Every structure is written in C-alpha cells, then in structure tokens.
Amino acid sequence: MGVFNLHTQALSTMFSPRRTTQAKFFGIAIFFGTLLLFSPVLAQAQDNSGPPDVGDQLSDFEFTLLDSDEVISPESMQGTYYMVYLWSTSCGVCRQEMPELHEMYDAMAGENFEILSIAVEEDVERVAHYREEEHPMPWQHVVFEFDREIIMELSRKFASGMPAKIVVSPDGTILEVVSGRSETDLTEMISEHVTE
C-alpha cells in the first residue's frame, strides 16, 4: 500500500463518527507514525544531491581567498585544470601526504594547473602557523572555521571526509575524486589529466 493510501486510510479512521475516542486516538497515532516513518524516504526522493562523481560538473561556489580579497569560483577557474583539496591541520593523513602534494605542485609548475586548498574546521592563525613552520603550501587557500551547516554544504559540493581531492577540467567537469590517502602517486595522477 502506498504512503498516500496509508495517510488517507488513517484520516478516514480519525474522523469517522462511528469510532470511539480511543479508536480516533489510535488513528491519529497511525497517521503521524506513518509520517515519521516515511519522511526520510520522501526527503531523499526530493533531494538526491550528494557528493559529486567523475563526469559531473563541479557544483557552483564562491569563496574569498585567504591571502587576498579575491573571490574564487568555477567561473574564475574556467580554462584551468585544478584540484580542490579538503584538509585540516588536525588531519593526520593530510599532514602525511603534504610533502607529496608539494612535490606534485612543483612538478606541475609551468603547466595549466592550480590547487585550491579548503581547510575545514580550522582557525586562520593555525593554518598560517602551519604554513610558516611546516609546509608553505604556495597555492590558493580558503579557511572555514567549525560550522555544521558549512561542513554539510562542503560535503555535498565536494566530498565527505579528509583528505579529499577533486580534480577538475578547464570546463568544470570532474575528472577524478579521491577520498583519503591516494594510492596512486599524486604527480602521476595529475599528469594523466593535465593534457594542455
């Protein structure tokens, strides 16, 4: 029986004049119980959005860069291969692969390629200290302090978990999505995609 048939049946049970008060209460319980049971399913049917996959267009965004007042977006990155990198100074795997990330960035110098790092659940001063004392990360940066809604939005637009790497083509098509530590050498992975 469909959800709406259940609702109709429950409503008719609620308002039938032949039902006792106890039966009416039972009908109300069935009606609201059905709503609670199926509301997650209905919500999912209305919103099938989730982390992007290879072949999708990267979701729209507008972020103000850490080191300037410049606003970055898919539109401003058109014509450039780039990798969105979600990370945090408290993420052990992120810190472990940072030297490899720098090696890849150096190897791609002169190519049509850029990195956009998005620090999640972070503090601007902590990121600045990390870049001064450990790894300079000489590419573009955005920093978001802890905010549950922002974290959920970033997970929907990019990927869940850290580190996450989303390689994007000059026309905004997602070429690769990697969550966690990369099994493939990062330089090799990016070189396979950057063809211009």
Q: Supply 96's token pair.
A: 């472990």
What backbone torsions phi and psi does residue 130 show, to the nearest 5 degrees? Answer: -60, -45
Return the structure tokens found at 125: 């001063």
Look at residue 10 in the predicted model and tell me its pLDDT.
41
Nearest Cα residue to 72 out of 134, 10, 6, 141: 141
Q: Is the pLDDT of residue 121 over 70?
A: yes
pTM for the structure as a whole: 0.71
The whole-number pLDDT of residue 39 equals: 36
Which residue is associated with the tokens 């997970």?
A: 155
Asked whether the beta carbons of 27 and 8 are under 8 A apart, the reply is no
Q: What is the dihedral of CA 76, 77, 78, 81, to 10 degrees?
A: 170
Residue 86 φ/ψ, nearest 5 degrees: -90, 130
Q: How many CB atoms lie within 10 A of CB 83?
A: 26
**pLDDT beyond 90 at 83:** yes
Is the CB of residue 22 less than 8 Å from the CB of residue 29?
Answer: no
H-only helix segments in 50-147: 92-107, 124-133
Mean pLDDT of 170-174: 95
Beta carbons within 8 Å of 185's beta carbon, 6+ residues apart? 100
Average pLDDT for residues 36-44, to the nearest whole number? Answer: 37
